[in-house]
Amino acid sequence: MSNFCWHRVDTGRIEVEHQTESKADLPVKPLQPSSGSSVMIEGHGLSKYYGPFVAVDDASFSIPEGQVVAFLGPNGAGKTTLMRMLTGFLAPSVGRAAIAGFDVRTQRIEASKRLGYLPESGPLYPDMTPLELMEFFGEARELKPNVLKRRIDSVVEICALGLVLEKPIGKLSKGYKQRVGLAQALLHDPEVLIMDEPTAGLDPNQIKQFRENIQRLGRTKTLLISTHILQEVEAVADRVLLICNGRLAYDGKLADLQEDGSLEKPFYRLTSESVSAKPAGNDGLPTTSKSDSSTQTEPPEQGAMS
């Protein structure tokens, strides 16, 4: 059984009727940035509704400059949906997001200048070489030729792309494709880097190399990295945002969440199933009834909402 928590939405009144209560025993209390720190990533009451299904429900948090934050949650918890809203690729039903103080909806260009985004399936063109791809993205971002050349040299070194710079991306391994994706996200030297499941599909050696890159980037940038892998969080993060059923279940320091030096027990407890889904109707479709507030609604496929 999946870890979804079903809600119904009366979109006419923009109200959410919660059919269940969260069992999380750790409160959600966003960390306040230390004195003098700039807030680089902000979410204010972010919610996303798909008809009666609530993918993300009232998520609020702020991430100050220089933090490496792990966005942790099981598959289908709402991580990708929330990251898309933070980066401006998906409009929220309610709430707003900001990057380096710029609203991603009303000040999109200014926010994009300060944001590097690596989605789970990166924006790679298989017929291009890594060099051609970076030249294309650099020109699209209107980087001056001398600046673009310098930035390409820099990201090629950071991402170790020298051996494959002139090879078609479609012929590269998964690990190299992920490096190319990271290179395009870093090309314009953004202050904020948001990455969705960046180590998915990589082998242990590739994961180790990627983590080393994250640790190095975390010295100069603000990072938000989504994952469902506990070891990943322990390896790279200072702080954890844990989402379950579309709601933030924990926001705090990694050390405060760990029990006996591990995230395993608190993760299982916070993501434990809170309700049982009502079986679908005879036609295989979810059963819903606006007149019955106790009726539960089956969600879309988890992959579409993760």
Is residue 221 located within the same domain as residue 95? yes
173 lies in which domain range? 122-188
Mean pLDDT (the chain, rounded): 80
- Strand ranges (DSSP E) for the chain? 7-10, 15-18, 39-50, 53-64, 68-72, 94-99, 102-103, 115-118, 192-196, 222-227, 239-244, 247-253
pLDDT of the residue at 163: 93
Q: According to the model, what pLDDT value does residue 72 have?
A: 92
Looking at the structure, tell me whether residues 129 and 256 fall in a common domain: no
Segments of the chain scoring below 50 in pLDDT: 1-35, 274-306
Establish if 62 belongs to a structural domain. yes
Instruction: Give the pLDDT score at 165.
Output: 95
Judge whether 110 lies within some domain: yes
80 and 43 in one domain? Answer: yes
Q: What is the pLDDT of residues 47-88, one digit of tens each?
A: 999 999 999 999 999 999 999 999 999 888 899 999 999 999
Domain annotation covers residue 214? yes
Domain CATH code at residue 51: 3.40.50.300
**Lookup: tokens for 291:** 């007149």
- Look-up of token digits 């490496």: 68
Which residue's entry shows tokens 């949650």?
A: 73
Q: What is the pLDDT of residue 37?
A: 64
144 and 241 assigned to the same domain: no
Based on the fold, state whether residues 222 and 92 are members of the same structural domain. Answer: yes
DSSP category for residue 300 = S
Q: If residue 303 lies in a helix (H) or strand (E), which one and from where to where?
A: helix 302-305
d(CA 28, CA 210): 30
82 and 46 in contact (C-beta within 8 Å)?
yes
Provide the β-strand partners of residue 196.
226
My answer on whether 225 and 76 are in the same domain is yes
Residues 266, 243 share a domain: yes
Residue 203 lies in a domain: yes
Q: How far apart are CA 257 and CA 237, in angstroms?
A: 12
In a shared domain, residues 211 and 252: yes
- Secondary structure element (H or E) that encloses residue 109, with its range: helix 108-113
CA nearest neighbour of 178 among 143, 220, 225? 225
For residues 140 and 167, membership in a common domain is answered with yes
Q: Are residues 29 and 165 in the same domain?
A: no
Asked whether residue 304 is domain-assigned, the answer is: no
Domain end among 168, 188, 208: 188
Q: Please give the backbone phi and psi of residue 63, each rounded to the nearest 5 degrees, phi first.
A: -125, 120
Residues 30 and 110 in one domain: yes
Structural domain count, the chain:
2
pLDDT at residue number 152: 97
Residue 171 in domain: yes
Count CA atoms closer than 13 A to 49's CA, side-chain side: 18
Per-residue pLDDT reduced to its tens digit, 13-34? 333 333 333 333 444 444 444 4
Report the C-alpha gap between 5 and 10 in whole angstroms: 17
Would you say 274 and 21 are in contact if contact means Cβ atoms under 8 Å apart?
yes
Rg value, the chain, Cα: 20
Same domain? For 5 and 99 the reply is yes
Backbone φ, ψ for residue 62 (5° rounding): -140, 145
Instruction: Please report the pLDDT score of residue 36 as a whole number.
Output: 52
